[in-house]
A and B are shown apart, each in its own frame.
Chain A
C-alpha cells in the first residue's frame, strides 16, 4: 500500500518549470432528475472545457464568483469528483483512468485543504488520532516513529505540542485551519488543492495562515492550486491566476500582471468591483448589471455576454476560444481577438 515516498527535502526547492499537473478539457455535468419517473431531465454545466498546467513548485490561483465551478474543478483535479470527460495527469501519469488500487498511491501525493476545516475533521478523534489514521494507512512512517512524526507535524504548522491530545472543537478557526494543513501535510504530498482556505478567517488570522502556507510551500517544494473568491489574496499568494465564469475559463494571466495587463472585460469588472483599501483614492465601483446566468441552461456563446459592457453580436452565439498571448496570458473574448 505504501507509495514510493519522495522525501521532501528541507532545502529550498528549485523550480524546474516542468509541468507537474496537467488538466485537459475537463468537463463536469451534474444530472438533474425530475418528473414522474425521476429521469435525468437536465444537466448543471458546472465545468466546461477547462485546460491548464501547473509547473512544479508553482501556485495556480483560481478565482471567480460563487457557482463558477472553481470548487468542482479543484475536486476533479484530485479525483474527489469524477470528471464527465477530460484528462488529468500528474508528472505525465494520467490519473483519470486509474483503478482504485493505483489511485491510492497517487492520492497520497495530492491533498486538499477545505474552507471549513471543522467539517472535514472528525469531531470524535483527538488531533493525534486524526493525523495517525492517515499516516498509518499510507504507511508514511512506522509506529515507532509515529509520535515524533506527529510532534514534528504539529510544530511545522506552528501549534503547541499539547494540542495533539485535544479535540477539533477546542480550537479557534485559525488553529483548526492549521490542523487542516497539518492533516494534508502528514502524507508528504507534492500537490495541494486549497479550496478557500482563508475565507472563513479574520484578516489578522488570515495573514498568519497565508504566511504559514507560503513557508510550507517553499520548504516542501509544493505545487498548489489555490481556489478563492478574493482577488487580493490570490494576487498576493499565487504565480498564475485563472479567472472562471460559469464553468469556463475567461482569462489566464501571471498574477503580477493581473492589475495592469488583464484584458478580459470580466476580469476588469472583477477588479473594478473590489473596493480599494484607501479612502483617499475612492472611485465609483464598477457595477455590472444583472446576475450570473443559471448553469442549468447556460446561454449559447460567451456566458458573460449578458452582463458584458463590450458585448457584440457574435458573443451571443459563439463561445470565443482561449487565445494565448506571447507572455503566457490567455484570453477568451471576441473583443480581444
Chain B
C-alpha cells in the first residue's frame, strides 16, 4: 500500500488516557501504539465507547484537563515533538497548522456568528504571514478546492446558510488551508446522507492526492473503511486488538471480534439462508468492570481458560506485519493459492 519506506510522520507509543469520574478513574484508551506514514489513510474502527475518539482527541490534546489525564509515559511523536507532553503554546502552533482535525457535526465546530470567510481567515491569520488580500484569495481558493459552488458569495455567508454537506466541506477547507501533514477526521461523514457522503469521501481522496496529507480516519462504518483506507486499526474497550492492511483485514481477519464485526453487516445483494444476520452476543464490557483476561472473552465463540486468566498482548503471530491481541488468532494459514502472506 502507500506505507512506503519513509519514516512515519506520527508515532504513537503507549498512549494511555484516563478520566476522573464520579465512579472513580476509568482508562478509556489503554496503551495504544501505531504509526502514521506520510500520504496514507489509516482507519481507526470500533463500536461506541471503544476509545477511538478519545485516541484522536488525546493526539490533538483536545480533552478537558479538568477530568482527563494523559499518562506522562505516553508518547505521540510528531516531527521530534512529543505532543502528549508538549506545552499549550506548542500545541497551538501544531494544531490547525500541521495537524488539523474535522469533526462529525460541522455545525458545532463552526462558529454560528461569524461568516465562513472570517473563520477561514482566522486560521490563516494565526498560522501564516500572508497579507489580508492574500488571505482572502487563499480562502476563496480553498473553498473552490473543496468544490463549493460560487465561493466568492459563500465567503460572505454564515454557517446556517449552508447545507450539511457544504458545512462539512467548509470544515475541510479550514482544516486544509494551512496544508497540514496530518488530517484527523472523526466520523466526518456519519451525519451525512450517502450521496453527500460520497461527495465528501471523493473530495478527501482527491485532496490527499494533491496535498499528500496523511489522514487518520475515525469511523464505525466498515464500508467507508473499505472504500478509503490503506491500513486499519481495530479497537475494542480501549485496546487496539488488531492492525492490518485493509485488504488483509477484510479477507483474513485474525481477531474473532473483527471477524464477527465484519459478518454482522448486512451484505449488499447477498442474503443469508434463513434471513438472519450473524451476531455478536452480549455487549461491550463496562470500562469500570473490565475482566482480568481478554476483554472480548464474554462475547467470544472461541474462549478458553487461557483467555480468562491472561490478557493477550498485541503481537504478530503468523504474519510479521499483522499484530493481533488474541491467544488463538484466526486465519493463520497462509493461502498458497493466492500467495497472500498478509
Interface on A for B, CB 8 Å cutoff?
A: 65-66, 172-174, 202-208, 210-211, 214, 229, 231-233, 235-237, 256, 259-260, 269-270, 272-280, 282, 284-288, 290-292
List which B233-287 residues lie within 8 A (CB) of chain A: 246-247, 249-251, 260-262, 264-269, 271, 275-281, 283
Please tell me if B131 contacts chain A, counting CB pairs below 8 Å. Answer: no
B197 to A, closest residue via Cβ:
A273
A65-B193, A204-B47, A207-B278 known; A288+B198 contact, CB < 8 A: yes
Docked pose: A203 CA to B201 CA in angstroms:
21
Please tell me if B310 contacts chain A, counting CB pairs below 8 Å. Answer: no
Q: A229-B194, A277-B223, A285-B202 are in contact. List 14 more A-B contacts (CB 8 A).
A: A204-B264, A207-B264, A208-B280, A210-B277, A231-B268, A236-B275, A259-B269, A273-B197, A273-B198, A274-B223, A275-B223, A277-B262, A284-B202, A285-B198
Contacts between chains A and B (CB distance < 8 A), count: 128
Offer 28 A-B interface pairs, CB within 8 angstroms, sorted by A: A65-B193, A66-B193, A173-B48, A174-B283, A203-B220, A205-B47, A206-B264, A207-B280, A214-B275, A214-B276, A236-B266, A259-B268, A259-B269, A269-B195, A273-B197, A273-B198, A274-B194, A274-B223, A275-B228, A277-B262, A277-B268, A278-B226, A279-B246, A279-B250, A287-B198, A288-B195, A288-B199, A290-B149
Please tell me if B227 contacts chain A, counting CB pairs below 8 Å. Answer: yes
Complex contact A276–B226 (CB within 8 A): yes
Complex contact A203–B165 (CB within 8 A): no
Interfacial chain A residues near B28, Cβ < 8 Å: none
Complex contact B193–A229 (CB within 8 A): yes
Interfacial chain A residues near B280, Cβ < 8 Å: 204, 207-208
Please tell me if B77 contacts chain A, counting CB pairs below 8 Å. Answer: no
A259-B269, A277-B223, A282-B227 known; A203+B196 contact, CB < 8 A: no
A205-B283, A278-B226 known; A65+B195 contact, CB < 8 A: yes
Complex contact A203–B222 (CB within 8 A): yes
Chain B interface residue count, CB cutoff 8 Å, equals 48
Taking chain A's interface residues, is the majority helix, strand, or loop, or is none over half, making it mixed? helix
Interfacial chain A residues near B201, Cβ < 8 Å: 275, 285
Please tell me if B84 contacts chain A, counting CB pairs below 8 Å. Answer: no
Complex contact B264–A232 (CB within 8 A): no
Interfacial chain A residues near B249, Cβ < 8 Å: 279
Please tell me if B21 contacts chain A, counting CB pairs below 8 Å. Answer: no
Interface on B for A, CB 8 Å cutoff?
A: 47-48, 149, 163, 165-166, 193-199, 201-202, 220-229, 246-247, 249-251, 260-262, 264-269, 271, 275-281, 283
Interfacial chain A residues near B47, Cβ < 8 Å: 202-205
Most buried by B among A173, A229, A278: A278
Complex contact A270–B251 (CB within 8 A): no
A203-B264, A233-B266, A235-B268 known; A270+B195 contact, CB < 8 A: yes
Kindly list the 3 A-B residue pairs having the minimum CB-CB distance in the complex, ordered from nearest.
Answer: A273-B198, A236-B266, A275-B227
Interfacial chain A residues near B149, Cβ < 8 Å: 290
